[in-house]
């Protein structure tokens, strides 16, 4: 979650909530991100790219990069301007 919050601070600087989603057996971390106000499409793409890269790097540094898939879906609350 800290990786998401830090990425948000760099990319948007806007208030954001991280809400847990229903647990799945093969998913380690799954959150729905919601912004208080709309972010631009460019910010959404930059956020997705940056947070994915940060999570992949963290997994690699912790030695658990095998069989780990990082994905981000575009579900933006508050809209994309």
CA nearest neighbour of 68 among 60, 77, 76: 60
| Residue 43 host element (H or E) | helix 41-62
| Res. 81: pLDDT tops 60 | no
Task: Give tens-digit pLDDT for 11-37.
Answer: 888 888 877 777 777 776 777 777 878
Write down the pLDDT at residue 56.
Answer: 84
Task: Give tens-digit pLDDT for 55-74.
Answer: 888 888 888 767 777 776 66
pLDDT average, residue stretch 3-8: 83
Would you call 28 helix, strand, or coil by DSSP?
coil
| Res. 53: pLDDT tops 60 | yes
Q: What is the pTM of this model?
A: 0.72
């Amino acid at each position: 979650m800290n990786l998401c919050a830090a990425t948000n601070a760099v990319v948007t600087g806007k208030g954001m909530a991280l809400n847990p989603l229903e647990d799945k057996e093969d998913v380690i971390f799954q959150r729905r991100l919601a912004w208080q106000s709309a972010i631009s499409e460019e910010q959404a793409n930059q956020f997705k790219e940056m947070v994915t890269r940060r999570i992949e790097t963290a997994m690699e540094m912790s030695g658990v990069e095998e069989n780990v898939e990082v994905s981000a879906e575009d579900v933006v609350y508050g809209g994309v301007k």
